[in-house]
Amino acid sequence: MTPAEPHQAGLLWQDGWYRFARRQDSPNFGARPAGALVDLVVVHSISLPPGQYGGDEVQQLFGNTLDWQAHPYFKSIEGMQVSAHFYVRRGGELWQFVSCDQRAWHAGASHWRGRDNCNDGSVGIELEGLEGDSFEPAQYETLALLCAALAQHYPIAHIAGHEHIAPGRKQDPGAGFDWALLRRSLGWPAANFPG
């Protein structure tokens, strides 16, 4: 992957915000460590409540406005302060919560290719879905376009699932995610993907 010319990338990005995403700022972020290399994309899946789609609960979770009393499941995550850089709805709509120049709180305890604390040098992308289930064609299309745009602006060298960077602790996006489809869509080498 080679970065685009600066003027091309500048059309897509402003201070880490992607032009084609709907912006909703999350308070859950921090500065990346000095010298951090943003070279990893982490794919997640999320739905709130689990298996229910179409509501605004994910946006509320990332904005710290989720009503913990609105569903019994929410009691189990009450008080969590998390975020991702991006969220892709079932229909392909793209939201952004944290500038990619900043550190979102999506990976937790993690390790990938010799480095711990994957939040430091990664971009987190949540897909609306349930771990293990399938995802929609529109989501793959948006995800591929977003990954290509990220690679034009950042030195992206790897893409992995939450399950790969936190094995045993996380299982998303799970067996229903089509890694081969994403690889074909991007045309990136196999070495950029989980083995």
Is 20 within a domain? Answer: no
Q: With 0-12 CB in 10 A as exposed, 13-18 as middle and 19+ as buried, what is 38?
A: buried
Q: Which residues of 41-54 are buried (b: 16+ CB within 10 A; e: fewer)?
A: bbbbbbbbeeeeee
- 78-94 per-residue burial string, b: 16 or more CB within 10 A, e: under 16: eeeebbbbbbbbeebeb
Establish if 184 belongs to a structural domain: yes
21 domain-assigned: no
The pLDDT score that the predictor gives to residue 7 is 47
| Mean pLDDT of successive 10-residue stretches along the chain, which has 195 residues | 48 96 98 96 98 97 98 97 98 98 98 96 98 97 98 97 97 97 97 93
The answer to whether residue 91 sits within a structural domain is: yes
Residue-level pLDDT at 185: 97
Neighbouring C-alpha atoms within 13 Å toward the C-beta of 14: 5
Per residue in 183-192, pLDDT (tens digit) is 999 999 999 9
Number of domains into which the chain is organized = 1
Residue 58 falls within a domain, yes or no?
yes
The model's pTM is 0.94
Secondary structure of 22-88 as H, E, C letters: EECCCCCEEECCCCCCCCEEEEEEECCCCCCCCCCHHHHHHCCCCCCCCCHHHHHHCCCCCCCCEEE
User: Residue 51 sits in which domain range?
Assistant: 6-13+36-189
Q: Name the β-bridge partners of 14.
A: 17
What SS3 state is found at 124?
Answer: strand
Residue 19 lies in a domain: no
Residue 101 belongs to a domain: yes
pLDDT of residue 9: 56
Let me know if residue 27 belongs to a domain. Answer: no
Q: What is the CATH number of the domain that holds 158?
A: 3.40.80.10
Question: What pLDDT does residue 195 have?
Answer: 83
- How far apart, in whole angstroms, are the C-alpha atoms of residue 156 and residue 158? 6
Residues designated catalytic: 126
